[in-house]
A and B are shown apart, each in its own frame.
Chain A
Amino acid sequence: MDEYISFEQIPFGSDNFADNPEPRCPCVLLLDTSGSMGGMPITQLNEGVRTFKQELMMDPLATKRVEVAVVTFGPVTVESDFHTVPNFSTRELDANGDTPMGAAISMGIDMVARRKREYKEHGVAYYKPWIILITDGAPTDEWAQAARQVREGEDGKKFAFFAIGVEGASMDILKQISVRSPLKLKGLMFREFFMWLSASMKMVSSKNPGSTINLLPPSGWTEL
């Protein structure tokens, strides 16, 4: 009987786990900071990016696994290269200049390819990268090349590309760039959008029998 009780109380299990690098989920935000975003839109976008970080920080695994990079346009500027969530920060973005969307998209795609090479070199497992484009206008540069790169990347399962149009965005051109249907932001609900994005990224680790990406239904922040 004594022996039985002692068995009940044994510290069964192990906390000696393999010390592997966490698998990473890279995410590039391509943010339109052209002149037309001035005023409330840029204020709300800044607020949205802060919300994105806060929401991801609340999830212990997303905190370790998600890596965020930020590219603004125009002009095309890497505001922040890939960083895990705790180390990710951007300055307060301001709005001016034109809308070199094509160059920004190409830049984002290059960054994702480079990041994957770095993961491979260091034996880090990773999830499919996400590229998120947010714009309120139409490209002022040559965008056919970027559209081709998006299509090739999606076909080759190299990344998932999402386009979000703010009031004033040329949804027609976004449709020609993005293989997935672009979504239209309702009003200036950047905060709601980024909450949705962070929630979707937290789900990313579930396994896939197809090429689909598991997204939460985009409720609340999109116009139908």
Chain B
Amino acid sequence: MMWKAIGSSVAGTSHAASGKPCEDAVQYCVAKDVNGDEVMICCVSDGAGSAAFAGFASGYATQMMTDGLRMVAFSGAAISQGDIYALAEDIYYGLAAAAERQHVPLNEYSCTMLGCYITKGRAAFFQVGDGAIVRNDGTGFYLPVWWPENGEYQNSTCFLVDDSSFGNLNVVITEGAVNEVAIFTDGMQLLALNTEQETAHQPFFTDMFRFLRMANDHEKVNVLHRKLGEYLDSKQINDRTDDDKTLFLATRIGV
């Protein structure tokens, strides 16, 4: 089964009210490796609300990361932790150069970054800051790869530009098939994760993947992609969160 992916970033109501654009970003693609096998690539980022260039930072980070990961797929080499760190470094120095051009402190480019690179038998996940990556563990159970890192306060976390040695960047490479993954920013955290048990809220993911599994052509995936954007901007979501929110869903399970 081929990968089917949808992903959308939508401005939170508090951003809309204050005239700020959406400062979340998502980029994803299905690349082909040298053997012609599919590689599911995604990167999601949440620009810090009080950073002046947060929107630029999240857009830049997701674009650079997905472009870089596509090159890894073309190269034919198996992905390594070093590949992720090298790309994070490129992004860090890109943002540092932008801050210098604008004559502003680097933390005006604060953003989180999390994503995946999934081949047939091997997957890499990476994350700095909050938000979460949730994967189907193969038995239909949804499992966060890491529990999101918030500081003492709900609105504090760590960011890509905080540390040029990337002490707070988590990277893991897993062997074996990953058939389903969801990635989201902290705007969705309280809806999709149970904070007391530190688990993924199973019914949420079961609901969200149900139709994506059923979609068996591009047109249907496109319909779902549009509906995802509408859903993220719906009253039921906005009553629960005023933050920007991003949700990416990918499955290679069909029915």
Contacts of B234 in A (CB 8 A): 13
Within 8 A of B (CB), among A68-127: 123, 125-127
Nearest CB of chain A from residue B217's CB, rounded to whole Å: 9
Contacts of A214 in B (CB 8 A): 49-50
Contacts of B228 in A (CB 8 A): 12-13
Any B CB within 8 A of the CB of A15: yes
Residue from the set B51, B154, B223, B242 with the largest chain A CB neighbour count within 10 Å: B154
Q: Would you call A20 and B190 a contact (CB within 8 A)? A: yes
Any A CB within 8 A of the CB of B201: yes
Question: Known: A17-B201, A20-B194. Contact between A206 and B50, CB under 8 A?
Answer: yes
Question: Known: A125-B195, A207-B157. Contact between A14 and B208, CB under 8 A?
Answer: yes
Within 8 A of A (CB), among B69-115: 107-108, 110
Contacts of A212 in B (CB 8 A): 50
Question: Known: A12-B231, A207-B49, A209-B50. Contact between A17 and B154, CB under 8 A?
Answer: no
Any B CB within 8 A of the CB of A204: yes
Q: Would you call A23 and B224 a contact (CB within 8 A)? A: no
Within 8 A of A (CB), among B98-140: 107-108, 110
Residues of A within 8 A of B (CB): 4, 7-8, 10, 12-23, 60-61, 123, 125-128, 157, 202-210, 212, 214
- 29 interchain pairs, CB-CB under 8 A: A10-B227, A12-B231, A13-B208, A13-B231, A14-B207, A15-B236, A17-B240, A18-B190, A18-B192, A18-B201, A20-B190, A21-B195, A23-B154, A125-B154, A127-B155, A128-B155, A202-B242, A205-B14, A206-B14, A206-B49, A207-B48, A207-B50, A207-B110, A207-B155, A209-B107, A209-B161, A209-B162, A210-B107, A214-B49
